[in-house]
Amino acid sequence: MTRLSVNINKIATIRNARGGNMPDVTKAAMDCETFGAEGITVHPRPDERHIRYSDVRSIRPLITTEFNIEGNPIPSFIDLVTEVVPDQVTLVPDARDAITSNAGWDTIKHRDFLTEVCSEFRSRGIRTSIFVDPDPAMAEGAALCGCDRIEMYTESYASMYRSDRDAAIAPFVRTAEAARAAGLGLNAGHDLNLENLEFFIRNIPWTDEVSIGHAIICDALYMGLETTIQSYLSKIKIF
């Protein structure tokens, strides 16, 4: 059954826009769990424009479900992950100035580097996931890097969903099947929302986890955080 991990970066963005500690990111993480989230995702960047490294350290001992840290495995990120030891680390090749993640890894080109990073994290008991575009070759390449899962970058699915949802989902099904054949677990994330989430899960029911942040926080402005999380859970608990 697919699990819902809530990305709380946008809550940190609101806090940082004004300074101080309002909203309280640590409390928000705990509230998300109380409201039904089955994991908390954070994506610290070097400039700390939303989630800060200090947030990661504060949140880690309070999480009772799953803690997932996303990011580009630069040295400072690797040091942070090995210090706090989350349940899962998701490797994302985002540039320092990226507004949001916008591409997956080329797991063939960067195989040696990704293999080294995966080995480091797995030696510490941390599940590793590699962020990839919907391409079966990238899933197969990820398996050769020694990771446990891939996370499919779902922006293209979301952007095409309204015009042709069957065509939109097709490359993701192929990639998901390649991942499963290679023995990998499967995560997904980016621009998934209440409109497109259920169709995605119905077509790829072996998805282990979806990580959703921006859409959840946007919906929570109108529906409230608890109702929003429950609404997202209803879209993935369909089997």
Active site residues: 43, 70, 190
Q: What is the C-alpha separation between 175 and 132, in angstroms, rounded? A: 9
Take residue 110 and report the two structure tokens written for it: 């960067």
Element (H, E) at 4: strand 3-7
Q: What is the C-alpha separation between 131 and 150, in angstroms, rounded? A: 6
Cis peptide leading into 23, omega within 30 of 0?
A: yes
Asked if 40 and 68 touch (Cβ cutoff 8 Å), the reply is: yes
C-alpha angle 78-179-39 in degrees, rounded to nearest 5? 50
Handedness of CA 52, 53, 58, 64 (dihedral sign): positive
Take residue 217 and report the two structure tokens written for it: 């926080």
Q: What is the C-alpha separation between 188 and 132, in angstroms, rounded? A: 9
